Each structure stands twice: as structure tokens, then as C-alpha cells.
Amino acid sequence: MKSIVFCLSLLAFCISQQSALPQAKPVIISIEPVKDKIPDIFDHIKKIKIVALESSPDFIIGKFHPPIVSEKYIILYDTKTIFCFDNEGEFVSRISNIGKGPGEYLSITSTAINHAANEIEVLSQGNHKIFRYDIASGDYLGSVDLPTLTYDFCIYAGKHYFYFSRGLNEDWPIDGFDSHHQIYQADYLNGKIAKQFLSGSTRMFPWKPFNSVGGKLYVNVADSDTIYQFNNGRFDPCYIVNFTKQTSTAEYWNTPFGKRKSIKNYAHWLSTSISEEFLLINYRLIDGSPNNHFLFDRKTGSSVDFTLESTTILNVPLEYHSCYLHNNSLLIVVHAFELLDLDHKSFVYKELVRTKFEFNENSNPVLLFFELEI
């Protein structure tokens, strides 16, 4: 009996020690936008992979939200329809269940893939629900009710949801266009909230705070200069981003609404992508210049700040395109018609010729994966 009590005490001690593990110091990242002699990111490209999405008059893709690319699937979606392709660009399924009936949504706010169940999940703000569909068939499988207005979500370890949501029981707006927000952890089966983290206030605009990499979850939100990592039931600061010569996003959003117009030198942090090797921050200066992109090597600490306006390899206007990370490649999604005027000397054009891609101005988008080395 004593041995059992001792073992239970030891187990409780180990659990308490695990929850109290000291957190590592966050890495400080300093960003100073380069306006003269802007580096060409394509000087850092090792090789390219091109995936042209299958085209058909039955599924033509126009505007789309940021893509979801996994090891098996490529997902593009707008506010009404989700298009699912395999990782070679072959069409898999389409989900377009607009309506008010069972399994139907008012609009699509965000999506996520449940890899273990082979499902695509759809967040609809208008319905206050997450809808679940089979990826292969597009069949409706069920839904989960949300407790409050939710802007984005992710699936963690197949057992939990994380929501980026308005605070519970809150009226909108607060202080002009602002509203309090929370990160909530919820049960995957019923969607009920278990914990809440990182409360703050943010303007109501599209923001994708979650990055899931190698089983690790990272979060950053609009009014913070910090990227957090989920460890042992808590969010620990992992990176702190310092814009050395501009007002930071955190400082801007934490300024009272009526005084923000007086801020003239401001770097607007748009989005973040994280892979095992790199961290990519997309931001924009308020002087009207194109989007900037800051690429940071997580292992070596080296970095490069660039715009797609400065690229010479494509010879097409990409300065207002977004770019993302997939594994250790830079991902840019372009419409097929944008590639019709490619510089024939570019290796993108040569790769298109080599692989015998056939497309025209009405073809579906093309994904360009550039393997990086900085």
C-alpha cells in the first residue's frame, strides 16, 4: 500500500514539475525595411516546383483566400466554395453548400484540415458553427456549435480546437471599430471551451493567427509583437518582433482609436508563416509601397527583407501578391494568365516548358514552390 501511495505521489510531483517547466527566452527579431538596393529573393532559390491546378469549365477558381497546403492536399476557397486538389494539382472534390438547410452554411470564414479523419472543416461566422465534410466525397458529416463570434480556428493534435474569438458575452463595437478577443482552447468533440489565453483588443479585420508546424502550435495576434508557442498547456513567448524604425503593429493597435490617425510611420504586420526552418513575416508600410516580406532562418538567425516588386526572375507584376511557407519553400500562388508574359529566359518559364504544362488565361491558379537558402 505504501508503495502505491509513493508512486502516486511521485506521479503527481512529476506532473506538477512538468507544468512548471521554465520557459526558454524568446528570440528577438529586428526588422528594418530596406528601401534602397532591395534584395532579390530569387537569388536565394535552390530549385523550383510548379503545381498547376486541374482546370475544367465545371470548377473555375477566381478570387481566393490564403491557400491551405498539406502533404496530401491543396485547398483553395472563397466565401462560398472550397476546392480540394491532391498535392499534384488533380481535382478531388468541391464543397459549395450555401444555404440554410442541414449541412449548409451562410458563408465561409475559414477552413482547416483534420488529417487523421480526412475531413475538411468549415468555420462560418454567420452560423456560429464549424461544419465537417469528407474531403474525398465532399459529403456533410456533422457540425459543432461555437460559443461566440469566431474569426479563425485550428485543429490541434486531433483532440482540441483553438479559436480566435470575440470575448464571451461581449457587445460590439468597443472603442470605435475595436473588440476584445481571446484565444480559446476547446474540446474537439463538442466544441465546448476548456481554457482561455491571450486576451486583448483588435480591430475587426481578417487575421490568421495560427501556425501548426511539426506538431507544434504557434500563435500571434494583431495587437501583439510576440509570437507564442503552445507548451505544456500554456502559450510561451517564442519570438518578439521589433520594427526598429517604424511604429509596431502592437503599439498601433494599443493606441486609442481616435489617436491612431496621427501615427505616420507605421509597419502593418499582415500575416505570419512558419516552417521547421524559416519564419516569414508579411507586412506593409503605410507610405503606399508594395508589401514587404521578412524571411528569418530559425536555425542560423540570418534574414533577408524583400519585396516581390524587386524580383527579376518572373518579369510579371507580383508586388501585391502574398507569399507563404510550405515546408522550407516559399509559396506564391498566381493566376495562370499572369504567367502568359513570362520572361523566356527565366527558370520558371524553362520549368514550365520542361514539364510540358499547358494552360491559358482561363486556367486555374498555379502554385510556385521555391526551395530557399539564405
Place 258 in a pLDDT band, splitting at 50, 70 and 90: confident
Residue 313 pLDDT > 70: no
Residue with the bigger pLDDT between 102 and 32: it is 102
Global pTM?
0.84
Residue with cell 494568365: 337
What average pLDDT does the chain have?
A: 82
Residue 255 Rama label (left phi>0; alpha psi -120 to 50; beta): beta
Report pLDDT for 153.
95
Three-state SS string across the chain, please? CHHHHHHHHHHHHHHHHHHCCCCCCCEEEEECCCCCCCCCHHHHEEEEEEEECCCECCECCCCCCCCEECCCEEEEECCCCEEEEECCCCEEEEECCECCCCCCECCCCEEEEECCCCEEEEEECCCCEEEEEECCCCCEEEEEECCCCEEEEEEECCCEEEEEEECCCCCCCECCCEEEEEEEEEECCCCCEEEEEEEEEEECCCCCCEEEECCEEEECCCCCCEEEEEECCEEEEEEEEEECCCECHHHHHCCCHHHHHHCCCEEEEEEEEECCCEEEEEEEECCCCCCEEEEEECCCCCEEEECHHHCCCCCCCCCCCCEEEECCEEEEEECHHHHCCCCCCCHHHHHHHHCCCCCCCCCCCEEEEEEECC
Average pLDDT of span 86-104:
95
157 phi/psi in degrees, rounded to 5: 60, 20
Residue with the bigger pLDDT between 136 and 256: it is 136
Report pLDDT for 37.
58
Span of 67-81, 102-116, 275-289, 313-327 with lowest mean pLDDT: 313-327
125-145 tens-digit pLDDT: 999 999 999 999 999 999 999
Report pLDDT for 11.
45
189 phi/psi in degrees, rounded to 5: -70, -40
Other beta carbons within 10 angstroms of residue 214's beta carbon come to 7
Report pLDDT for 152.
93
Report pLDDT for 4.
47
Question: Hey, what's the cell of 328?
Answer: 522550407
Place 35 in a pLDDT band, splitting at 50, 70 and 90: low
Residue with the bigger pLDDT between 184 and 39: it is 184
Q: Is the peptide bond before 173 cis (omega within 30 degrees of 0)?
A: yes
Question: Hey, what's the cell of 212?
Answer: 501548426
Query: Burial level of 306, CB count in 10 A (0-12/13-18/19+)?
Result: buried
The percent of residues above 90 in pLDDT, for the chain, comes to 43
48-60 tens-digit pLDDT: 888 999 998 888 8
7-30 tens-digit pLDDT: 444 444 444 444 455 667 999 999
CA distance 111 to 330: 21
